Chain A
Amino acid sequence: MTDLLQFEFMRNALWAALLCSGLCGILGTMVVVKRYVILAGGVAHAAYGGVGLALFLGFSPRLGAVGFSLALALLMAWVMLKKASRADAIIGVIWAAGMAAGIIFADLTPGYGSDLMSYLFGSILTVAREDLLLMAGLLAVTLFVGMLWSREIAAFSYDEDFARTRGVPVTLLHFVVVVLISVAVVLIIRVVGLILVIALLTIPPSVAEKYSRSLWTMMGVSCLLSAAFSLGGLALAVRFNLTAGAVIILVASAVYLVSLLLPSGGRR
Chain B
Amino acid sequence: MAETKNALSFRGVNFSYGTDPVLRDVTFSVPQGEFLIIIGPNGGGKTTLLKLALGLLVPESGTISVFGKKPGEDRSVAGYVPQDTGRNRDFPITALEVALQGRLGFPGGRLSYGRKDREAAMEALKALKMESLAGRSMGELSQGQRQRVLIARGLASDPGVLFLDEPLASIDPETRDMLLTLLGELCGRLTVVMVSHDMSAVSAHATAVACVNRKVFYHDSAEIGPDAMEQVWGRCPVELVAHGIPHRVLAVHDHDHGGEGCSHD
Contacts and interface: CB of A to CB of B under 8 A. Distances in A.
B113 interface: yes
Nearest to B90: A209
Size category, B interface? 20 to 34
Interface string B27-57: 0000000000000000000000001001110
Interface stretch (A42-50, A70-78, A162-170): A162-170
A149 B93 CA distance: 17
A161 B92 contact: no
A62 B168 CA distance: 54
B104 A167 contact: yes
Contacts of A38: none
A213 B92 CA distance: 5
B101 A162 contact: yes
Interface string A154-198: 110111011111111000000000000000000000000000000
B153 interface: yes
Contact of A158 (B54, B91, B108): B91
B112 interface: yes
Given A159-B82, A165-B80, A166-B105, 14 more contacts: A151-B112, A158-B88, A159-B88, A161-B82, A164-B55, A165-B55, A165-B56, A166-B75, A166-B102, A167-B104, A213-B93, A213-B137, A214-B93, A267-B140
Contacts of A213: 92-94, 137
B97 A167 contact: no
A167 B92 contact: no
A167 B101 contact: no
Interface in B84-104: 88, 90-94, 97-98, 100-102, 104
B93 A158 contact: yes
Nearest to A35: B87
User: What are the nearest 9 A-B pairs in CB distance?
Assistant: A166-B104, A212-B92, A167-B105, A165-B80, A167-B75, A155-B101, A213-B137, A166-B105, A218-B92
Contact of A214 (B80, B94, B102): B94
A164 B56 CA distance: 7
B80 A158 contact: no
Nearest to B138: A158
B72 interface: yes
Interface of A: 33, 147-148, 150-152, 154-155, 157-159, 161-168, 209, 212-215, 217-218, 266-268
Given A162-B80, A166-B101, A267-B137, A151 B113 contact: yes
Interface of B: 51, 54-56, 72, 75, 78, 80, 82, 88, 90-94, 97-98, 100-102, 104-105, 108, 111-113, 137, 139-140, 153, 157
B92 A215 contact: yes
A33 B56 CA distance: 22
Which of A147, A167, A212, A217 counts the most B-chain CB atoms under 10 A from its CB?
A: A167
A157 B91 contact: yes
Which of A148, A164, A217 counts the most B-chain CB atoms under 10 A from its CB?
A: A164
Contact of B97 (A152, A154, A161): A154
Which of B51, B88, B101, B112 counts the most A-chain CB atoms under 10 A from its CB?
A: B101
B93 A154 contact: yes
B71 to A, nearest CB: 9
Contact of B54 (A151, A165, A267): A165
B80 to A, nearest CB: 5
A157 B91 CA distance: 9
A147 B110 CA distance: 10
Nearest to B89: A268
25 contacts: A33-B92, A148-B111, A150-B111, A151-B108, A151-B113, A155-B104, A157-B91, A158-B98, A161-B56, A161-B82, A162-B82, A162-B153, A163-B101, A165-B78, A165-B80, A166-B101, A166-B102, A166-B105, A168-B104, A213-B93, A214-B94, A218-B92, A267-B137, A267-B139, A267-B140
